[in-house]
């Protein structure tokens, strides 16, 4: 079981090339079992729909974004964390991924974010990996 940071989802939507897109496709096809909390889904939606973040010529249209978000919700293992860490990481917005991973008993957070290199993340039994590392394992 994995938890996937919004930066990986966004990167996977920005380009059909590269490891983030492979991870996103794997989430949608069932290759990767992943957990998502309501807070994560709301962040996914808020970030990927932010004007300009998909680049000047996105390969996906606005309606397609909703379709992908719906499909992610349909394939995710829904998790409602029963606790909060505030603040835990250098960027408090990232705490929701740690909370979801712990509640889901997921061992891995897939991210490009350096905030997850915090020693406390490893102390909680979690590991943060890049999309490239995930697809190579």
Domain limits, the chain: 2-136
Distance (Å, rounded) from C-alpha 23 to C-alpha 38?
20
Percent of the chain with pLDDT over 90: 69
Percent of the chain with pLDDT over 70: 95
pLDDT one-digit tens code per residue, 24-53: 999 999 999 999 999 999 999 999 999 888
For the chain, what is the mean pLDDT?
92
Strand partners, 104: none
* Strands of the chain, DSSP E: 2-4, 35-36, 77-78, 108-110, 127-129
Give yes or no for a contact between 14 and 45, defined as CB atoms under 8 angstroms apart.
no
User: Looking at residue 52, what is its pLDDT?
Assistant: 86
Q: What is the CA radius of gyration of the chain?
A: 14
User: Looking at residue 89, what is its pLDDT?
Assistant: 65
Weakly modelled stretches of the chain, pLDDT under 50: none
User: Looking at residue 61, what is its pLDDT?
Assistant: 81
User: Looking at residue 88, what is its pLDDT?
Assistant: 67
DSSP secondary structure code for residue 49 in this structure: T
User: Looking at residue 24, what is its pLDDT?
Assistant: 98
User: Looking at residue 42, what is its pLDDT?
Assistant: 97
């Amino acid at each position: 079981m994995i938890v996937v940071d919004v930066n990986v989802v966004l990167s996977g939507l920005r380009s059909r090339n590269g490891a983030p897109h492979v991870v996103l496709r794997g989430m949608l096809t069932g290759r990767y079992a992943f957990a998502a909390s309501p807070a994560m889904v709301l962040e996914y939606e808020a970030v990927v729909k932010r004007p300009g973040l998909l680049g000047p010529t996105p390969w996906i249209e606005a309606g397609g974004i909703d379709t992908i978000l719906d499909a992610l919700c349909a394939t995710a293992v829904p998790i409602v964390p029963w606790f909060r860490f505030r603040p835990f990481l250098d960027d408090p917005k990232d705490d929701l991924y740690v909370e979801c991973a712990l509640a889901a008993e997921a061992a891995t957070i897939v991210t490009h974010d350096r905030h997850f290199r915090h020693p406390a993340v490893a102390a909680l039994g979690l590991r943060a990996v890049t999309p490239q590392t995930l697809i190579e394992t």
